Structure 1
Amino acid sequence: MSNIPIEDYGLLSDRHSAALVGRTGAVDWLCFPRFDSPAVFAALLDDRAGTWSIRPVGPFEVRRRYLDGTMVLRTEFHTPSGVLALTDALDTGRCTQVHRLGAEAAHLLIRHVHATEGSVELAVEFRPRPEYGLVRPQFTEHEGGLFARGGADLLALSTPLAHRRDEEGMSARAALRAGEELSFGLHWGPLGGAPPGLHGAGELRRRLRDTVESWRAWSREHEGYRGPWQDLVRHSGRVLQALSYQPTGAIVAAVTTSLPEEPGGTRNWDYRYSWVRDAAFSMDALWVAACPDEADEFFAFMKDAAATSWTGSRLQIMYGIGGEHDLSERELAHLGGWRGSRPVRVGNGAWRQPQLDVYGELLDTAARFAEQLDAADPALRLFLPGLADAAAGAWDTEDHGIWEIRGEPRHFLYSKLMCWVALDRALALADRLDAGERIGDWERARERVRAEILERGWNEEVGAFTQSFGSSALDASALMLPITGFLPATDPRVLRTLDAVAEGLTDSRGLVARYRTGPGVDGLAGAEGSFLLCTFWLAQAQALAGRVAAARETFSRAAGHRNDLGLLAEQVDPRSGLLGGNFPQAFSHIGLVNAAWAIARAEDTARSA
């Protein structure tokens, strides 16, 4: 069982895979060669499941940051005798006009230590446990390091230190004086493939420099947002880029599995897949934060991944990052879970759920990136109109909604709203997609959806739009009514809904819950924390309504829960204020970007009035 707070971790990414590094210099989560691969280090979920630690011997204080414009992490350990700087990165390869960021990733974790003041005694502990801790690899010595073999993974550890080795792994100590440096590398290779290499200090330092410059080159070319909280927005853009899978254009919801919505609870899910909703929202946020040029990659992924599932049936709500359809869920009974939160799950059973909102999210993103899309692409001209046809044909059926309720399907307001968005955006794209003959059908369907939402989504007794037709339950997703443009933010019904959410779903910290959990509400036991995305939605809707001061306050409360590296999890425990849920969470960074942008535009409007 692991007890380390989620906010203690920093993210590394090469746009293929990810690592989480704790404040004490321990890599407690690493998946090679993909985000969804079995973890090599999984101490995040169980102390016995593998780690790689580099830290001073004895007491120390920590200061850390990302190097400017990068996702390269620098941790400074301040000890009574000196200061040690640890720089960690997943090697992205060079980013050039030919090769996009991560295109030449080598599946190599680089760790560089440098004594900057005084002298520091260093301790290194290397205990890989492939396949989520199931495999205890065999170790063999080679000049310049050692190899670990076991299961489907071959690991090469480059180390300059003399070390002790046993069946658990490798450990070493060294004393460094000011100016002295050491470089380490962990290189992954597949069983039966090209073996991973051992790298000398010069090669590792060159690769580290290339990675720093590659991230900075991407950041220089993607500085789209200027306005309030500019540094936070641009950093969130880098985080979203770090959550994207370069080979296909997929975007993961988070890099972890089974970090719980409630400590010790059972609401523990695997988020290392590409939800249509989350990925589309990520592209929209990148449009604000970073002016991305990856829209073509994203839509190529979506139309190819969905090519056999959307025609004549429903679009899946998520896919594997390589386009896989079957994401069957299973439990890892050998892992104790973060703070005893079990079961630990891999895969996600929600892939089978019908969720009607996905059509709207994809078409909304397509409309935003219309100029970047190849309108002459026959597959795209078939795919996008097909999404609108699917929304027109299915909007009046029940589904499981945006929050993936694991109970009975219902007529969720948000699902109907996004079917309206699908039809509205398809109409805007019709000429570009040469779909003029569909305009009449889409217009009629759009008006039917709109009428149903206005008649059945509004609850006069509650004084708000509610979670589902005929329900009295509040749901933060109703805040999307003004955000999508379905109704003006100044509409009296919208304003009353904003007030109802602020009063009925907000905790003592000023953070917004998705909805109120309870017996029979969502088919799950236990509770959950307040949801950062929903809090940012409230700030965004308040800004659209002209309530700019309230929007700023709401934004600041949510953004104030980022960790010292600017990373946000999915939720916040309303009692302790600690982060909860998978981490870092794309949804939360999406919400931050969009809320900041809405506030900036509202302030510009107020100044020009």
Structure 2
Amino acid sequence: MLQANLEMGVIGNGSFGALIDRHARVVWSCLPAFDGDPAFCALLSPRGHDGGDFAIELEDYAGSEQHYITNTAILRTVLRDAHGGQVEVIDFAPRWRRNDRFYRPPSLIRRIRPLAGNPRIRVLARPLADWGARVPECTWGSNHLRWLLPGFTLRLTTDVPVRFIREALPFVLAHPMELVLGVDEPLDRSLASYAQEAQQRTEDYWREWTRYLSIPLEWQDAVIRSAITLKLCQYEDSGAIIAAMTTSIPEAPGSARNWDYRYCWLRDAAFVVRTLNRLGATRTMEDFLRYIFNLATTDGSLQPLYGIGLEERLDEHEVPSLAGYRGMGPVRRGNLAWLQRQHDVYGSVVLASTQLFFDQRLNDPGDVHTFARLEPLGERAYALHDVPDAGLWEFRGRTAVHTYTAAMCWAACDRLAKIAVRLELGERATLWRERADHIRERVLARGWNAQRGHFTDTLDGTHLDASLLLLADIGFIDADDPRYVATVEAIGHGLRRGDALFRYVAPDDFGAPETSFTICTFWYIDALAAIGRMDEARALFESVLARRNHLGLLSEDLAFSDGEQWGNFPQTYSHVGLITAAMRLSRSWQEAS
């Protein structure tokens, strides 16, 4: 039985990721990359086949403990039986520098050892193929098993007797054992020494990576865990950072708001880049900027999201072979949002790319040629700032001229003007400043509703939208401007329920929203701090931190009633919000000295 509240850990290495529950079951992993076939798909309830998991099952199970080894992505689970027996399971994906590159195969290493008593375990390795539709062909040798998956052969090398795994036979775990799951290549050295060395070198890598992070004085554990999670969601081949590792975990129980999030959304780009910059994760930021710039230098048109390999078509299909998270289908593969028009992406990409021109740490800074590649995005932003779109929230059944979209189009022109000044391109600076000013005047005139006393979700509109909290953050309006303060206060009254926020309350294509969008609560926390309500912001931040799972991870949404997590997991944007809020709210090192 899967745990409630998404009580799972995540491991990975920049090639793939895996989710592991409190029982030490691998319940989700797409192979050989984030967008691949989920060989382990038990999270989404396969129909007609047992399995879709990789489990260390303890007889007479009585409980477990689970934590990460400090400052790493290495997960430790201790299983306890009813007789005093204990088993330790160490899970990680190997990653370290070798020959001036990173060794990061799509490989999961599981190390098991008895800690007390005479525990009896079963090792269940039951991958499925074609999205849980069939059991793959399996072959084996003296110390390995192989499964023939679509386009990928999975190999398990182990010192557990192969027959014990094939037939799921229980046995007493009398000494440590190793399981190395990955590509179909024989291991040409001692299994135990490889697993031990791999753990040590992977541990060294993560501790070295976290060592150079810039972190606040307060909430360091939360920030470090969020930073590692953000890093785990980057596909290193291209630099893309996915929204989440999963698909189709519903935003609310039975809501059918089930989407595939294993892709890269451009709307998040500027905020992710800024967060990586604040963390000092320069290499990760540069890799992500490389991905963004690859998309930005085509014909000037952008879609809301792309695949991790820069794919444009992400056709959406329902998957009948999977019943869904807790049986709550449908399960969707692909995301039709790639067909939508969301004009805020032009501002997001230009905002992110601005880093190239002002950050002297970068190996490949922006120049006049880079600027020329970005200008077509500004042209699009200016042309589309008052054209209806699907908006930040990807409405499928309606369009409008959204205030946030128009403000992001302003941001594209504003930042191009600043870059042009930096590059001493006087005429271009004048042009982009005039265009930015024109957009700003229109948004201030039509996005502000004097009768209601706040900015509205659309130009000439009447409703509230949490994205309005970002107007000061992107520099469109000063945080102490009475219009912004009034909008923050209106959102607190209109969209807040307890310690969380709706993104909007008006019904959409799927009815009225039922859960809070976690990033919106972090936006509100930032806005409260910006307008001087620091104590309230800190208290609300602490409340959200308490809603993380037992390993410090967040999904997309929180239920208002009981704080249970819903939506795809782990959610990159939620962790970006956590990091940003912690850095804004924390006392400084000087204040503590």
User: What residue is the counterpart of 1:305 in the other structure?
Assistant: 295
Matching residue of 1:219: 210
Q: 1:183 to 1:599 in 2, by over 3 A?
A: same
Aligned-partner SS, 1:7: coil
Distance in 1 separating the partners of 2:434 and 2:285: 30
2:214 and 2:98 map into 1 onto residues whose CA distance is 19
> CA deviation digits over 1:56-95, x for unaligned, max 9?
2112221111111111101112333232211101122x23
> Given residue 244 of structure 1, which amino acid in structure 2 is its aligned partner?
Q
User: 1:557 deviation in Å?
Assistant: 1.8
Q: What do the CA deviations read for 1:265-323 (whole angstroms, capped 9, x no partner)?
A: 2111001111112233222112223432233322222222343342xxx2121111111
Q: Provide Cα deviations, 1:236-283, integer angstroms capped at 9, x if missing partner.
A: 111111111111111000000001011122111001111112233222
Task: Extract unaligned runs of 5+ from structure 2.
Answer: none
Partner of 1:69: 71
Q: Deviations over 1:87-139 (max 9, x none)?
A: 101122x236933xxx3211111000122233322221111102211231122
Is 1:584 the counterpart of 2:570 in the alignment?
yes
Residue 181 of structure 1, aligned match among 166, 176, 184? 176
1:13 aligns with: 12
Query: 1:36 & 1:440 partners in 2: Cα distance?
Result: 44
Tell me if the contact between 1:236 and 1:289 (Cα under 8 Å) persists in the aligned partners.
Answer: no
- Paired residue type of 2:504: Y
Which has the higher mean CA deviation after the structures are superposed, 455-464 or 28-37?
455-464
Residues in 2 aligned to 1:157 and 1:606: alpha-carbon distance in whole angstroms:
52
Structure 1 position 20, deviation (Å): 0.4
Partner of 1:341: 328
**Aligned letter for 1:30?**
S
Q: Deviations over 1:10-46 (max 9, x none)?
A: 1011111110001011101011111111111101001
Change (3 A) 1:97 1:548: farther
Aligned partner of 2:510 among 524, 530, 538: 524
Among 513, 518, 536, the alignment partner of 1:550 is 536
Contact 2:164-2:170 within 8 A present in 1 as well: no
Map 1:213-252 onto structure 2 (within 5 A). 213-221=204-212, 223-252=213-242
CA contact (8 A) 1:427 1:439 kept: yes
User: 1:513 is matched with which residue?
Assistant: 502
- Residues of 1 paired with 2:590 and 2:287: CA distance? 38
Give the distance between the partners of 1:445 and 1:227, measured in 2 at CA. Answer: 41
Q: Distance in 2 between matches of 1:467 and 1:431?
A: 32
Q: Please, which of 86, 89, 108 is the counterpart of residue 86 of structure 1?
A: 89
Aligned partners of 1:12 and 1:73 also within 8 Å: yes
Give 2:311's match in structure 1, choosing from 306, 324, 327: 324
CA gap of 1:426–1:205, structure 2 versus 1, over 3 A, is same
One-letter identity of the residue aligned with 1:174 = F
Q: Work out which of the residue numbers 58, 82, 88 in structure 1 matches 2:60.
A: 58
C-alpha change, 1:65 and 1:165, in structure 2 (3 Å) is: closer
2:153 alignment counterpart: 154
Match of 2:551 among 528, 549, 565: 565
Q: Following TM superposition, by how much is the alpha carbon of 1:588 offset from its aligned partner in structure 2, in angstroms?
A: 0.5
The 3 A distance-change label for structure 1 pair 112 and 430 is same
Distance, in Å, in 1 between the alignment partners of 2:503 and 2:468 is 10
3-state DSSP class of the match of 2:55?
A: strand
Cα distance in 2 for residues equivalent to 1:394 and 1:373: 33
Cα contact 2:421–2:429 (8 A) shared by 1: no
Equivalent residues of 2:502, 2:520 under 8 A apart: yes
Query: In 1, distance between residues paired with 2:218 and 2:432?
Result: 39
1:379 and 1:137 map into 2 onto residues whose CA distance is: 50
> What SS is found at the alignment partner of 1:299?
helix
Q: 1:527-579 CA deviation, whole Å, 9 max, x = no partner?
A: 34111100011110111111110110121122221111110000011123210
8 A contact 2:276–2:284 mirrored in 1: no
Mapping of residues 439-518 of structure 1, within 5 Å: 439-508=429-498, 510-518=499-507
Give the deviation of 1:506 after TM superposition.
Answer: 1.2
Identity over aligned pairs, percent = 34
Aligned pairs for 1:398-409 (under 5 A) are 398-409=388-399
Aligned partners of 2:98, 2:419: CA distance in 1, in Å?
Answer: 33
- The equivalent of 2:381 in structure 1 is 391
Alignment of 1:359-398 (within 5 A): 359-369=346-356, 370-371=358-359, 372=362, 374-375=364-365, 380-398=370-388
Contact 1:140–1:148, Cα closer than 8 Å, also in 2: yes
Is 1:536 matched up with 2:526?
Answer: no
Change (3 A) 1:315 1:574: same
**Is contact 1:252–1:321 with CA below 8 Å preserved after alignment?**
yes
- 1:607–1:75: structure 2 CA closer, same or farther, 3 Å change rule? closer
Report the more deviating stretch, 488-497 or 423-432.
423-432
1:487-543 Cα offsets, whole Å, 9 max, x none, are 2222221111111111111113x101100142xxx3234634111100011110111
Where in structure 1 are there 5+ consecutive unaligned residues?
190-194
SS class of match (1:442): helix
Aligned letter for 1:341? M
Please give the secondary structure, in 2, of the residue aligned with 1:136. coil
TM-align CA RMSD: 2.3
8 Å CA contact 1:95–1:217 kept in 2: the answer is no
Distance 1:228 1:605, change over 3 A: closer
Structure 1 letter corresponding to 2:222: L
Residues 183, 380 of structure 1: alpha-carbon distance in 2 compared, 3 angstrom cutoff: same
> 1:513 corresponds to which letter in structure 2?
F
Per-residue deviation, residues 395-437 of structure 1 (Å, max 9, x unmatched): 1211111111112210101101111111222222114456443
CA separation in 1, counterparts of 2:514 and 2:97? 40
CA distance in 2: counterparts of 1:245 and 1:503, whole angstroms: 40
Whole-Å separation in 1 of the counterparts to 2:585 and 2:468? 19
**Correspondence for 2:168:** 171
Asked whether the equivalents of residues 466 and 473 of structure 1 are also in contact (C-alpha less than 8 Å), the reply is yes
CA 1:471–1:607: 2 relative to 1, 3 Å? farther
TM-score by structure 2 length?
0.93
User: After the TM superposition, which of the residue ranges 436-445 and 405-414 deviates more from structure 2?
Assistant: 436-445
Shift of the alpha carbon at 1:198?
8.3
Over 3 Å counting, the alpha-carbon distance change for 1:429 and 1:170 in structure 2 is farther
Report the Cα distance in structure 2 between the residues aligned to 1:206 and 1:346, rounded to whole angstroms.
37
Distance 1:437 1:111 in 2: 60
Compared CA separation, residues 149 and 463, structure 1 to 2 (3 A): same
Distance 1:433 1:4 in 2: 55
Taking structure 1 as reference, are residues 472 and 506 closer, same or farther at Cα in structure 2, changes over 3 Å only?
A: same
Tell me, what secondary structure is at the counterpart of 2:171? strand
Aligned length: 584
* Alpha-carbon contact 1:264-1:340 (below 8 Å) kept: no
Match of 1:134 in 2: 133
Deviation at 1:459, TM superposition (A): 1.7
Distance 1:401 1:129, change over 3 A: same
Q: Which moved further from structure 2: 45-54 or 19-28?
A: 45-54
- Contact preservation (8 Å) 1:280, 1:362: yes
2:267 is aligned with 1:277: yes
Alpha-carbon distance between aligned partners in 1 of 2:29 and 2:281, rounded to the nearest angstrom: 29
Equivalent residue, structure 2, for 1:192: none
Distance 1:321 1:378 in 2: 28
Aligned equivalents of 1:150, 1:553: Cα separation in 2: 49
Give the counterpart of 1:201 among 192, 198, 201: 192
